[in-house]
A = this chain, B = another copy of it.
Amino acid sequence: MSFNTFGKIFTFTTFGESHGPAIGVVVDGCPAGLAISESDIQKELDRRRPGQSEVTSPRGEADKVQILSGIFEGKTTGSPVAMLIFNEDVRSKDYSKIKDLFRPGHADYTYSEKFGHRDYRGGGRSSARETAMRVAAGAIAKKYLAQKGISINGFTREIAGIRAEKTDLSVVEKNSVRAPDLAAAKKMEAAVLKAKEEGDSVGGIVEVIAKGAPAGLGEPVYYKLDSKLAEGLMGINAVKGVEIGSGFAATHMKGSEHNDEMFTSKGKVKFRTNNAGGMTGGISNGDDIVARIAVKPASSILKQQNTVNKALKQTKISVEGRHDPCLCPRAVPVAEAMVALVLMDLYLIAKARKG
């Protein structure tokens, strides 16, 4: 298994640096016969690309995807699907100033310690630009799962402590912060713009809900649905926490409150509550799958900070360039993609395990 591969049966492998020639992904294990076009992929990428609104980075990338393999006459053939985005707006000069500096909160220092030789341009491989390829891979998973009746929707639950109290999925794509509550969205947007003005950034919480997944997805005991979601979501840039269902709130509850009582309706098992977030024992139970991630405030800020340089001298830094004052809106499609990619893998595995 490559270090840049995720999954077991349905897998994807990404490559590419922020300011190199291109970024790409190889998606493997997709069943043959799925209709996939570049526009299916592009639609999702457009939700992640920079420059969508005032609250996102103005880096001018069209992020135009090309499919290089695995599709014939519009349908998957069972062979790996490779997709590529050539980097366009790679103003390398922007970064020359910080070539020998370690930006606080970034991976500059750890990559330097680990690898010695480092591509410092825009964070190189550690840049969140890599997540575009997860979105591309996720678009295939989403399309497959949709045909099985499974939908995956993400949104911003909270920014800077401002919480979306409603969960109205229909408004998510209609506000710049991707909140499911228009009133909260306004306040969130104001908080983001204020931070931006101050040369600072804010954090928040992104939530993903998958509806329609059958019971039985997830493999005990080291390929569980919850552990795979945790792995996939924690690996997204800037994520510092992952919770499933009740999450950390569970720690304040009694067992009698937390246990989801079961009943039957039309011959099917149902749950009164969904503290489990759609799974017990690491296996889906047929209820909505609910996951949440803690997104830290973006590390790239204009405010001056203390740091050290490659020569281990103390110095000051102010991260110029085109950055996101809040990462949540663009993290939404990435989190959706990771949930889709985990579910797709587990869906195919569950078929193999059926006997």
Contacts and interface: CB of A to CB of B under 8 A. Distances in A.
B9 A352 contact: yes
A316 B293 CA distance: 35
Given A33-B355, A254-B297, A263 B2 contact: no
A160 to B, nearest CB: 7
A15 B26 contact: yes
A68 interface: yes
A170 interface: no
Contacts of A195: 254-255
Interface in A1-39: 1-9, 11, 13-17, 20-24, 26, 28-29, 31-34
B248 A114 contact: no
Query: Interface residues of A toward B: which range?
Result: 35 or more
A117 B76 contact: yes
Nearest to A24: B82
Contact of A1 (B8, B220, B355): B8
B79 A256 contact: no
29 contacts: A1-B1, A1-B8, A2-B80, A3-B29, A5-B13, A9-B352, A14-B80, A15-B26, A15-B82, A23-B69, A24-B69, A31-B354, A79-B125, A105-B259, A114-B218, A195-B255, A203-B251, A229-B234, A240-B248, A241-B241, A241-B242, A241-B243, A248-B294, A253-B297, A255-B296, A255-B297, A255-B303, A261-B305, A264-B308
